[in-house]
Amino acid sequence: MTTKSKDPNKKFYFKTADTVLTILFFTSIGLTFWGINIYRITIIDTKYLFATIILGIIIAFAILTLLIKNSYSRIWTLLIKAGIGGGLFYFGLLFINQQFADKEFLTGQFPIIKKGTLGRGKNSSCFQPYVNIDFNGTEKQLVFYCDSADIVKHSTKVNLTYSKGAFGFNIIKSKQLSD
């Protein structure tokens, strides 16, 4: 039986392009988590988010393929570029929409169409209550603190204070349960 041994003189070299892609990828992951928090207070139809992510992936492939030559396998390169493009564009859309929102606040009362609780996280001692509302034809989930669980059970409407974002997607400034 023949065994192949690795060449002990061969060294692993990490290319600068690999470093750049890795840094961009992990930055994109961090910004995506930040974007998820912004998404929770943004009233946006998911089709716009998916379109933004797809556009980001296409642009990332085009730009990163031209600018960066790396040593990763094709599948890793595909996944990394998709993560970078999708994550950056997802975050960018939500962040710009929030940061450049109108200063004028609007208020409205919206009916609750569904109630429930989220699973308990590792750092949580309760199940967080949530409600789904119909915001002018768009269903939006609003998550409340644990101490609001009894109020959520008896509420039928939610009073929202919101403003129009830079891209026209509404940003929730405050929420209050009502009967």
CATH number of the structural domain spanning residue 157: 2.40.50
Residue 6, pLDDT score: 61
Query: Does 5 fall in a domain?
Result: no
User: How confident is the model over 47-56, as a mean pLDDT?
Assistant: 96
Q: Do 95 and 21 share a structural domain? A: yes
Summarize pLDDT for 113-167 with one digit per residue, the tens: 999 988 776 776 788 899 999 999 899 999 998 888 889 999 999 999 999 999 9
Measure CA 136 to chain center.
22
Query: In this structure, what are the phi and psi dihedrals at residue 167, rounded to the nearest 5 degrees?
Result: -100, 10
What is the residue range of 165's domain? 106-178
Summarize pLDDT for 78-119 with one digit per residue, the tens: 898 999 999 999 999 999 999 999 999 999 999 999 999 887
Q: Do 125 and 94 share a structural domain? A: no
H-helix segments, 15-73: 16-39, 46-67
Q: Do 112 and 93 share a structural domain? A: no
Query: Does 23 fall in a domain?
Result: yes
CB contact at 8 A, 52 and 90: yes
Q: Which of 99, 125, 155 is the last residue of a domain?
A: 99
Q: Do 74 and 147 share a structural domain? A: no
Only one residue has tokens 């974007």, namely 35
**Distance between CA 29 and CA 26 in Å, rounded?**
5
Q: Do 124 and 94 share a structural domain? A: no
Residue 20, pLDDT score: 85
Q: pLDDT class for 31, splitting at 50, 70, 90?
A: very high
Q: Do 146 and 116 share a structural domain? A: yes
Q: pLDDT class for 2, splitting at 50, 70, 90?
A: low
User: How confident is the model over 13-35, as a mean pLDDT?
Assistant: 88
Residue among 164, 147, 43, 160 at smallest CA distance from 112: 160
Structurally, the chain folds into a number of domains equal to 2
Q: How many CA atoms lie within 13 A of 176 on its CB side?
A: 8
